[in-house]
Amino acid sequence: MDLPLFGGRKKKESTIVRDYAKTLEDAKALMNSGEDDRAQILLRRINRWVSEDFDRVSALSPKEKRELSKILTEAGEKMLILKDYEYAIKTFEKAKSLDRNNVRAWLDIGRNLLERNVQIPYAVASLKEAVKLAPNNVEANILLGDALRMEGDLKGAIEAYFHALEIDPENEDVINKILKIEPDNVEVLKKYAELLKKKGNDTELLKVYNRLYSLTKDERYLDEGLDIDPGNKDLLITKVRFLMDNNELVEANRIIEQLREDYPEDPTVQMLYEELSGGEKEEVKPIAVDELFGDLGIDETLGEISTENVEKQKEEIEEVNKVDTFLNAFYNGDLDEAKEILKNLSHEEFIDLANREINFELAKFMVDNLNIEQGNTILEEMISKQAYDYAEKILNEILKKNFKDAKALFYKGKLMAAKGNDMGARNFLTMSVKFNPEMKKYIKEDKILKKYENEDWYKKLIS
């Protein structure tokens, strides 16, 4: 296809919109035939014509300007496909200058800037204008929520997402975005459960039921979940805890025995079995040393030695089972004891712990109760053994629920640096300092992060 002759030809005022539309169709035909370079020339030419024809374009009627604005918007969208981002944005700008009510142009600008993670403040401004022009546009509200979230304005993001959900109550994408910020929002979880039930997505529905029970303690969610999948491990474990709390130990025992048969290697099942077995044992009062040995004529000194031996044996047993002891203490609510055990775990034991089933509460407790120095030592040991998955599993559990946790962000940045993901390291470290400026000290002193000391972003970050 021959390119139209651009030089020296004057377009009649009455045909200007038609000429722009024809050139756009020619560009689309070239793209369809794989001639992207030639198509790009035509699309850029459309952009340039608006400036060259400024006087005639300005003289167009409002209706013609709106038609031309649509043509420019579509041309900009084709430029995005060709990854001609700079000219695409320029074309959208000209489109909305011709028609300030062109929601599509405002949306295209905001969406593209978000996708490329550039000029986020301008993306926010563009998307706010789109929402202002079209309050019931679901996509505009969702994109605005995404942009505000990237800026750290979670309150504004939630408001935008909820507005989108009001317009489209069954929008699963919006529900998931809300739950990433507010994972404990019971009302949204209920909406999600109804939607999943309607769609027949039992796998996700069971997870939501388990979460709803943990938040509401409403047994109905457990029963409804088990009606769908009577053998669901997570729900059955939760059911056992419910029965234990209500002292229904016979039924709890029946379920835990079945779980042990089905999942003999599962540490959570084993721990729950031990907890349940221990709970059924009759309490035995300690016998005083003099009562035990008095009639045998053994003096008090021997009794003291025996007591010391017993304590020594107890310490040896605890040393062997320190990780299990910590988990038992944590899940039994003995948090002070768990805290002390955690601080004394060896590197090997900590890796063993990280290899167990990790949930948010456990991960958060572990990070909160280890100071930066202890956490650094353990993380560096994991890094030296390339145990990245274990460390990342703990940190991800925390950041999924609270992405403002500065300490977890610092560790995550350090882990990214060790893995060679420089962009990831930069992003996580920057966020860490944003939420807690005191983290600059630890970043500056960290030996793994020293490799960035000549980078401009690093110098700016610790200054």
CATH of the domain at 379: 1.25.40
Residue 430 lies in a domain: yes
The answer on pLDDT for 91 being more than 50 is yes
Please say whether the beta carbons of 184 and 197 come within 8 A. Answer: no
Choice between 324 and 201, residue whose per-residue pLDDT is larger: 201
Are 202 and 271 part of one and the same domain?
no
4 DSSP assignment: P
Provide the pLDDT for residue 93: 94
Residue 195 is part of which domain span? 183-226
281-317: per-residue pLDDT in tens? Answer: 444 344 343 333 333 333 433 344 445 554 554 444 4
Instruction: Tell me the C-alpha distance between 396 and 359, whole Å.
Output: 10
The answer on pLDDT for 170 being more than 60 is yes
Choice between 250 and 354, residue whose per-residue pLDDT is larger: 250
Q: How confident is the model at residue 369 (pLDDT cuts 50, 70, 90)?
A: confident
DSSP string for residues in 42-67? HHHHHHHHHHHTHHHHHTS-HHHHHH
315-342: per-residue pLDDT in tens? Answer: 444 444 688 888 888 778 788 888 888 8
Residue 150 lies in a domain: no
Over residues 183-211, mean pLDDT: 92
Provide the pLDDT for residue 403: 67
The answer on pLDDT for 128 being more than 70 is yes
Are 345 and 446 part of one and the same domain?
yes
Q: How much is the mean pLDDT over the chain? A: 81
Instruction: Tell me the C-alpha distance between 126 and 105, whole Å.
Output: 9
Please say whether the beta carbons of 216 and 187 come within 8 A. Answer: no
Residue 419 lies in a domain: yes
Are 194 and 242 part of one and the same domain?
no
295 DSSP assignment: G
Residue 38 lies in a domain: no
Q: Mapped to the 3 state alphabet, what secondary structure does 198-222 carry?
A: HHCCHHHHHHHHHHHHHHHCCHHHH
Are 441 and 350 part of one and the same domain?
yes
Are 379 and 420 part of one and the same domain?
yes
Q: How confident is the model at residue 40 (pLDDT cuts 50, 70, 90)?
A: very high
Provide the pLDDT for residue 399: 67
231-279: per-residue pLDDT in tens? Answer: 888 888 888 888 888 888 888 888 888 888 888 877 778 877 877 775 4
Provide the pLDDT for residue 381: 62
Instruction: Tell me the C-alpha distance between 347 and 344, whole Å.
Output: 10
Instruction: Tell me the C-alpha distance between 54 and 97, whole Å.
Output: 12
Provide the pLDDT for residue 394: 67
Residue 174 lies in a domain: no
Provide the pLDDT for residue 30: 94
Side chain identity at residue 26, one-letter code: D
Are 402 and 363 part of one and the same domain?
yes
Provide the pLDDT for residue 419: 76
Provide the pLDDT for residue 33: 95
Instruction: Tell me the C-alpha distance between 374 and 360, whole Å.
Output: 20
Provide the pLDDT for residue 124: 95
Provide the pLDDT for residue 39: 94
Q: How confident is the model at residue 438 (pLDDT cuts 50, 70, 90)?
A: confident
Provide the pLDDT for residue 179: 93
- Going by C-alpha positions, the residue among 103, 113, 101 that lies closest to residue 141 is 103
Residue 123 lies in a domain: no
Are 340 and 386 part of one and the same domain?
yes
Structure tokens at 280: 């059924």
The answer on pLDDT for 195 being more than 80 is yes
Residue 438 lies in a domain: yes
Provide the pLDDT for residue 7: 47
Provide the pLDDT for residue 375: 66
Please say whether the beta carbons of 448 and 414 come within 8 A. Answer: yes
49-75: per-residue pLDDT in tens? Answer: 988 888 889 889 999 999 999 999 999
Please say whether the beta carbons of 110 and 146 come within 8 A. Answer: no
Whole-prediction pTM value?
A: 0.56
Are 215 and 235 part of one and the same domain?
no
The answer on pLDDT for 9 being more than 80 is no
Provide the pLDDT for residue 302: 35
Please say whether the beta carbons of 165 and 157 come within 8 A. Answer: no
DSSP string for residues in 264-293? TT-HHHHHHHHHHHHHHSPP-PPPPHHHHH
Q: How confident is the model at residue 439 (pLDDT cuts 50, 70, 90)?
A: confident
Q: Count helices and strands (H / E) in the chain.
A: 28, 0
Are 212 and 266 part of one and the same domain?
no
Residue 172 lies in a domain: no
Provide the pLDDT for residue 298: 34
Q: Say which range, 203-217, 308-322, 330-344, 424-438, has the weakest mean pLDDT.
A: 308-322
Instruction: Tell me the C-alpha distance between 23 and 40, whole Å.
Output: 11
Are 278 and 383 part of one and the same domain?
no
Cα torsion angle, 274, 276, 278, 280, sign: negative
- Going by C-alpha positions, the residue among 81, 57, 53 that lies closest to residue 68 is 57
Instruction: Tell me the C-alpha distance between 41 and 48, whole Å.
Output: 10
Are 193 and 258 part of one and the same domain?
no
Choice between 35 and 369, residue whose per-residue pLDDT is larger: 35
Are 198 and 241 part of one and the same domain?
no
The answer on pLDDT for 190 being more than 90 is yes
pLDDT > 90 in the chain, percent: 38
Count of domains forming the chain: 3
